[in-house]
Chain A
C-alpha cells in the first residue's frame, strides 16, 4: 500500500474505524514506513489530547437547578392554554355549538332571501311562429311569425302578479326575421336530338339504304377507322346538298 493511500486511512485507523483487512494492511505499512508512522502517532496524540480535556466541574447545585428548571418549564407549559383553548369562550362547547347553529340559520335565511328577491323572469305572452310563406318568385324559406298560441302567465296568484308589477317586464329577445330566399325555377333546356336512336340506323352507302326516321333531318354518318383496329371514330352530321358544279375535279391526266 502506498503512503498517500495509507495517510488517507490514518484518521480512521487512529480511531479503530477501519475494516480488519484495511487495518492490517495499514499496520503492515507502518512497520516499514517511518513517515507514515510519525503521522499515525500524531493522530493518536490528538485523539488522546481531545479525550483528556476534562469536563467542567459541575457541582450538585448545578444539577439541582437543572432539574428544578425542567419542572418549572413543564408547569408553565401545562398552565398555558392551547391555541384552541385561547379562542374557546368561557361558556365552553355548548356556546360554540349554539353559535355555530345560529350562524348556519342566518346563512340559510340570507340565501333564501336572495333567491326570493331574485325571483323568475316572466315568460313572454307571444312568441313568433315558424309558418312559411310563398311568393311569386318561388317557394321561400319559412320564417318565424306569430303563430304559436298565446301563453298564459305561470300562476295567477297574487304574489306572481305583484312580482310582475314590481319588476319591469324584461324584453324577450326575438330571433331576427330571416330574409326571404327566392329560388329561381329551373331553366328549361332545349330539346337535344336523340343521337342514340339515330346511331342505330346506318347512313353509309356500303351498309345499304334504310329509311330515315320520320320527322328527322337526314344525318350523315361518318366512320373513321384508326390504326388501332379496336378504335373507330363515328360522328354524325346533317346531310347537306352540295351543288352539282362543286363535284370534286378529278385529274383526267
Chain B
C-alpha cells in the first residue's frame, strides 16, 4: 500500500514538474517518496544514509558528542514531521544541512552560547591538552587531543563564522551553497570565512608557539 501511494506521489510530481524520468529513476528520490507515503522502513533507511554526515556537522558545530546526538535526533525528527512538504525536485542533502544548522543554532542559543571565546580565554581557561609526541602516545589519544584542540579553536569563532567555516572547509560545500543554507549572501559568507580562517591560524600559531617553549 505505501508503495502504491509512493507511486501516485511520483506521478503527481511528474505532471507538476515535468522532470519525470530524472526524478523517477533516482533511488534517493524513490526512497524519499516512500518515506513521504508513511513507510517507516524507508525513513529509517534515509537516516542510515545521512546519519554520519549529520552527526559530523553537529559535532563540529557543537563540540560535544552528547550535544551532537541530541541535535541529530532533533534534526531527523524535524525531517520526519516536515517530509510531506518536501519537494522531490529539491536537493535533499541541502535541505537536511539547513535543518541541522538551524537545530545546532537553536541548541547553542538555548545553552547561552552566541559568540565565540577570545583567543586569550581559549588558552587561559586551562585544560588545554599538551601536544604529545607520536612516539610516546597511542594514536587514539593523539587523535583525541587533536580533536580537542580543533574544538577549542572553533570555539573562538562566532556562531555564524563557525557555521560558514564548517560547511565550506570541512564539508566542502561551495560558497554559494553555504550562503543559501545559512540564508545569507555569498559576499557575506566569504567575509565570515576569511575572518574565521584568520582566527584559526592565529590560534594554531599561538598553540604551536606554546609547544615550542616546552
Are the CB atoms of A43 and B52 closer together than 8 Å?
no
Which A residues touch B47, using CB under 8 A?
66-67, 70
Interface size classification for chain B: 35 or more
Are the CB atoms of A66 and B69 closer together than 8 Å?
yes
**Known contacts A11-B193, A46-B201, A67-B48; is-contact A53 B73 (Cβ 8 Å):** no
Are the CB atoms of B170 and A51 closer together than 8 Å?
yes
Interface string of B102-144 (1 = CB under 8 A from A): 0000000000000000000000000000000000000010011
Taking CB atoms and an 8 Å cut-off, the chain A residues in 113-130 that contact chain B are none
Expressed in whole angstroms, the minimum distance between the Cβ of B208 and any Cβ of chain A is 9
Expressed in whole angstroms, the minimum distance between the Cβ of B151 and any Cβ of chain A is 8
Taking CB atoms and an 8 Å cut-off, the chain B residues in 169-214 that contact chain A are 169-170, 175, 190, 193-195, 197-198, 200-201, 204-205
Are the CB atoms of A46 and B69 closer together than 8 Å?
no
Are the CB atoms of B175 and A17 closer together than 8 Å?
yes
A72 to B133, CA, bound (A): 44
Which B residues touch A153, using CB under 8 A?
none
Are the CB atoms of B77 and A47 closer together than 8 Å?
no
A54 to B142, CA, bound (A): 11
Instruction: Look across to chain B and name the residue whose beta carbon is closest to the beta carbon of A70.
Output: B76
Partner of A66, one of B55, B143, B165: B55
A223 interface contact, C-beta 8 A: no
Tell me the interface secondary structure of chain A in the complex.
Answer: helix
A83 interface contact, C-beta 8 A: no
Taking CB atoms and an 8 Å cut-off, the chain A residues in 1-51 that contact chain B are 11-12, 14-15, 17, 42-43, 45-47, 49-51
Which B residues touch A17, using CB under 8 A?
168, 175, 190, 193-194
Expressed in whole angstroms, the minimum distance between the Cβ of A247 and any Cβ of chain B is 123
**Known contacts A17-B193, A53-B150; is-contact A67 B168 (Cβ 8 Å):** no
Expressed in whole angstroms, the minimum distance between the Cβ of A55 and any Cβ of chain B is 5
Taking CB atoms and an 8 Å cut-off, the chain A residues in 53-105 that contact chain B are 53-58, 62-63, 65-67, 69-71, 73-74, 77
Are the CB atoms of B80 and A70 closer together than 8 Å?
yes
Are the CB atoms of B143 and A11 closer together than 8 Å?
no
Are the CB atoms of A58 and B169 closer together than 8 Å?
no
Taking CB atoms and an 8 Å cut-off, the chain B residues in 141-169 that contact chain A are 143-144, 146-147, 149-150, 153, 165, 168-169
Task: Report 14 cross-chain contacts, Cβ distance below 8 Å, ordered by A residue.
Answer: A11-B195, A14-B197, A17-B168, A17-B193, A49-B150, A50-B200, A55-B147, A56-B59, A56-B144, A57-B140, A65-B69, A67-B44, A70-B76, A73-B73
Taking Cβ atoms with an 8 Å cutoff, the residues of A that contact B are: 11-12, 14-15, 17, 42-43, 45-47, 49-58, 62-63, 65-67, 69-71, 73-74, 77
Given contacts A11-B194, A12-B193, A70-B73, 9 further A-B contacts (CB under 8 A): A11-B198, A43-B197, A45-B204, A46-B201, A47-B169, A50-B169, A50-B170, A58-B65, A67-B48
